[in-house]
Structures are given as structure tokens and as C-alpha cells.
Structure 1
Amino acid sequence: MSGQDLGKAFRQGLADAIGFVLGALAGWQLGRWLGYDFIASTAWGVPELIGLALILVGCGLGRWLARKLILRG
């Protein structure tokens, strides 16, 4: 693997990690704000599943946005 390929792979991994974590945190906070806190609840009802879905959507959107911002060059 050349140095350029290694650098691109490192940036992709970094973008994925940052995007997943920040996106999950944003999705969790949005869920808390809307009243769907998946993390603090011990139940498995519809509100908790909506909160989990918001976290998962946040992961995907955060990864997509981080890759766009970090790899745009």
C-alpha cells in the first residue's frame, strides 16, 4: 500500500469514527429533546425504539457528513 493510499484510508477511518460518534450523540440528544430517550430507559416500548432509530439515523448521517467534509479534496 502506498503512502497516498494509506493516508486516504486513515482519513476515511477517522471520518467514519468521528461521524458515527458525533452523529449518534446528535441523534440521542434529538431523541431526548423530543421525549424519546433510549439510553436512560429500561423499557422496550415504542418511544424507546423511536429513540434508538434516531440514534441510528444520526450515526448514518454523521458518517456521511464527516466523509463529505474530511474527504472533499
Structure 2
Amino acid sequence: MNQKSLLLEGLSDAIGFMGGALLGYWIGRLLGLDIFAEGYGNSAIGGIVLVGLGGGLGLQLARRWRKRQKAKEES
């Protein structure tokens, strides 16, 4: 792999993860879940789970996008 493809991989992973995590955070906020609540109550745990799921889904979407771009270039 060359440096350009490694940079694209890193940036797309970071953008996908952060975008998904932020989306999970704001969905949690809309549902009344606060990841910054004092202690580890149900609200905080639910918010943390949504942020984690959002980050993971965003990362997977970024990787699928990259795979699709690579397939386009090869064909």
C-alpha cells in the first residue's frame, strides 16, 4: 500500500467513526440519555451504548464505502 491509500484509509475510518459516534450521541440526547450524567445510571449507560454503536456503524460504513471505491477503480 502506498502512503496516499493509507492516508485515505485512516481519514475515512476517523471520519466514519466520529460521525457515527456524534450521531449516536445526538440520538441519545433526543431520547433523554446523557453520557455525562453523574454516576453510571441507566441514562448514562444507554447513552454510552448508543455512542459506541454509532461509532462502530460509522466505521463499518466508511470501510464499505472505501471497498466500493476500490472496486470502481479496478473496473
Please give the range of the TM-score, normalised by the shorter of the 2 chains.
0.7 to 0.9
SS in 2 for 1:35: coil
The farther-off stretch of 62-71 and 8-17 is 62-71
Structure possessing the higher relative contact order (Cα contacts under 8 Å, 6 or more residues apart): 1
Unaligned runs of 5+ in 1: none
4+ runs deviating over 4 angstroms: none
Indicate the percent of aligned positions where both proteins have the same amino acid: 39
The alignment's TM-score, normalised by the length of structure 1, stands at: 0.81
CA RMSD of aligned residues (A): 1.5
Unaligned runs of 5+ in 2: 70-75
Name the residue aligned to 1:27. 24
The alignment's TM-score, normalised by the length of structure 2, stands at: 0.79
